[in-house]
Amino acid sequence: MKKIVTLAGDGIGPEIMSAGLEVLEVVAQKVGFEYETQAKAFGGAGIDAEGHPLPQDTLEAAKSADAILLAAIGSPQYDNAPVRPEQGLLAIRKELNLFANIRPVRIFDALKHLSPLKPERIEGVDFVVVRELTGGIYFGEHTLNEASARDVNDYSADEIRRILRKAFDIARGRGKKVTSIDKQNVLATSKLWRKVAEEVATEYPDVTLEHQLVDSAAMIMITNPARFDVVVTENLFGDILSDESSVLPGTLGVMPSASHSENGPSLYEPIHGSAPDIAGQGIANPISMILSVAMMLRESFGLEEAAQLIETAVDKTLTQGVLTRDLGGQADTAEMTAAIIANL
């Protein structure tokens, strides 16, 4: 019996978590996967319930879980609060050592016409953003004074090496090309990043390494995204570029992710946030959460068939023209979820 800790969080989080768990239940029955879920307070919901965005019992449950599903956190009500929901997100990533955040980018055939990019530009787009998740400027010293402020960007060679190895390992199983993105024309951390990337590349003679400065990489992601296979980059650049990549399929609402440590439980979450602008209306696109469930089944439980069942059902549903509002349709969260389950 596998234990899955669920962190629904804030905003649209609870709405899409329910959708993901409904799909999980149906697939589990089909493939005979036995699991139990344990819902825990997290983010703004953690602050409200226990005064902290990552309550101690939530952290302990997560540490002893076989996998963790997280929906989304954050709410404007905490914008000026002393403790913010986002701190819980950074804390769980750090506490569980979830250094490797994998954000796949693929185009759904049925959504091609919805992409703001010309069809010839998105043809053949299929890449993975490998984002370093427990280092860099997110976790350096932050000082805010009245008339000055500073944020420190720190990386050790070891931190860079392990995320580069992760990227090369993933590239080995697909297009055998790694694009390492940095700002080595300015930043010391990027100079070290590039040096370590070169060293790691010698361990993988079958994989090609190319370097790209982050500013021009942002441009290429829109003008020639089919050029990428595996993109690897530091925490902040990965945050920005992965949201940019959601323009290719047409919405953040279809973008899942997996975060891995060296050997502890992995965490699966959409790349988007709590979408306060549409929260509570039942209209969020649940596909990002549902595909995160598929990633969990594949990567934490080795259930390739179950993952594919979900991915195929999502494809089929989109092909049938069931589209949420972010995709230009009228389906609500419940209708989209029901259609996916019907296709299962």
Q: Which of 287, 329, 235, 247 is nearest to 12 (CA)?
A: 287
The reply to whether 280 sits in an annotated binding site is yes
Q: Catalytic residue at 183?
A: yes
Q: Catalytic residue at 215?
A: yes
Listed in sequence order, the DSSP H helices in 173-284 are: 188-202, 214-223, 235-245
Q: Catalytic residue at 239?
A: yes
C-alpha 43/C-alpha 54 separation (Å) is 7
The reply to whether 282 sits in an annotated binding site is yes
The reply to whether 257 sits in an annotated binding site is no
C-alpha 53/C-alpha 216 separation (Å) is 36
The reply to whether 277 sits in an annotated binding site is yes
Q: Using CB under 5 A, which of 22, 132, 159, 239 touches Mn ion? A: 239
Q: Catalytic residue at 326?
A: no
Contact of residue 331 among Mn ion, ligand IPM, ligand NAD, none (CB under 5-8 Å per partner type): none
Q: Is 59 in the site for ligand IPM (CB under 6 A)?
A: no
Q: What is the DSSP letter of 34?
A: -
Listed in sequence order, the DSSP H helices in 248-321 are: 287-299, 304-319
The reply to whether 270 sits in an annotated binding site is no
CB of 243 to Mn ion, least distance (A): 5
Which 11-70 positions form the footprint of ligand NAD (CB under 6 A)? 12, 16
Catalytic-role residue among 10, 40, 78, 138: 138
Q: What is the DSSP letter of 323?
A: -
Can you list the positions of beta strands (E) in 117-186? 126-132, 142-144, 149-151, 177-182
Please state, in angstroms and as integers, the Cα–Cα distance from residue 105 to each residue in 53, 69, 112, 131, 313, following that order.
Answer: 29, 20, 13, 13, 18
Q: Using CB under 6 A, which of 159, 239, 326, 332 touches ligand IPM? A: 239
Q: Catalytic residue at 316?
A: no
Amino acid code (one letter) for 213: L
Residue 117 vs 247, nearer CB to ligand NAD: 247
Residues designated catalytic: 138, 183, 215, 239, 243
Q: Which residues are annotated as a binding site for NAD(+)?
A: 273-285
Residue ranges at the known binding site: 93, 103, 131, 215, 239, 243, 273-285
What residues are designated binding site for substrate? 93, 103, 131, 215
Binding site for ligand NAD (CB under 6 A): 12, 16, 72-74, 86, 89, 252-253, 269, 272-278, 284-285, 288, 326
